[in-house]
Amino acid sequence: MTFRERLRALPTFPPGLPPFGVDLDDLAAAPATPQQLFAQWFDDALAAGVGAPHAATLSTADADGHVHARTLVIKDVTEAGWWFAGHATSPKGRDLAENPHAALTVFWRDLGRQVRVTGRASSAGPDAGAADFRARPDGSRAAGLVGHQSEPLGSRQAYWDAFSGRLDEAREHPDAVAPAWTAWVLAPESVEFWAASDDRGQSRLRYRTDAPGAPTWTKELLWP
Ligand SMILES: Cc1cc2nc3c(=O)[nH]c(=O)nc-3n(C[C@H](O)[C@H](O)[C@H](O)COP(=O)(O)O)c2cc1C
């Protein structure tokens, strides 16, 4: 079998996909905010045993329009938006400093569902960044204290040497915070909920706002 044939033979979704969870013929009755529907779908993902349901693809672009995407974990979802964290000095941090427009995409395969959040990301401030960092396990804090994320690494040994020193520091000083560690919040301008179904039809519901700070949400269906 060729690689192409093996790809074609793969099922994308398991059978028995759940319904959308919202009456799409009565959008007025749908949750008032995308955060509420996200929480509902997140509970479904947890109940279905989806692996790492808090993992998402964060897409950013620099000032020249070069796009970069990577997986990270969602740290919170509040009225302000979707939270994530990392080094401000990393490529993602540099992108966001140049261009706050970003997207977070979640794919819950077992449910046949995808959520796409787009908007502007901003730092939630040093206290939020420090609180996020301190809540990480020792090993994660040690890796964070090493820094240099995404810079070329001369050898694995160089990393282990740096890591072991930082692990001691992380254990001895639980309050230590990597200086560039940042919690960002992606204030949503658009949140799209996409669901496949067993009959291969797809359903899409988008929440959209022109005032991300104090949103009034427009709910609309999209052609699949
Ligand atoms: C499941 C998973 C979770 C991750 N969580 C984070 C995270 O919360 N923050 C982070 O900075 N990187 C996280 N990473 C690593 C990123 O994917 C990426 O390698 C790193 O942030 C550097 O990205 P950048 O060079 O685009 O800035 C995670 C990776 C995976 C696979």
Residues 129-158: what's their mean pLDDT? 96
Tell me how crowded residue 190 is: count the other CB atoms within 10 A of its CB. 17
Query: What pLDDT band is residue 52 in, cutting at 50, 70 and 90?
Result: very high
Pick the residue whose CA is nearest to atom 19 on ligand 1.
70
Minimum CA distance residue for ligand 1 atom 22:
150
Q: Mean pLDDT, the chain, as a whole number?
A: 96
- Judged against a pLDDT cut of 80, whether residue 134 lies above it is answered with yes
Q: Kindly report the protein residue whose alpha carbon is nearest to atom 3 of ligand 1.
A: 72
Give the bridge partners for 188, in sequence order: 119
Annotation: CATH topology of 26-221: Pnp Oxidase; Chain A (2.30.110)
Give the number of other CB atoms < 10 A from CB of residue 140.
12
How many A from CA of 72 to the centre of ligand 1? 4
Band (207; pLDDT cuts 50, 70, 90): very high
Determine whether the shortest distance from the Cβ of 57 to ligand 1 is under 6 A.
no
pLDDT single digits (tens) 58-110: 999 999 999 999 999 999 999 999 999 999 999 999 999 999 999 999 999 99
Residue 136 has pLDDT above 80, yes or no: yes
Q: Measured from the CA of 70, which atom of ligand 1 is nearest?
A: 17
Query: Do 194 and 202 contact (CB within 8 A), yes or no?
Result: yes
For atom 31 of ligand 1, which residue has the closest CA?
71
Question: What residue ranges do the domains of the chain occupy?
Answer: 26-221
HSE (side-chain half, CA atoms, 13 Å) at 198: 6
The pTM (predicted TM-score) of the whole model is 0.97
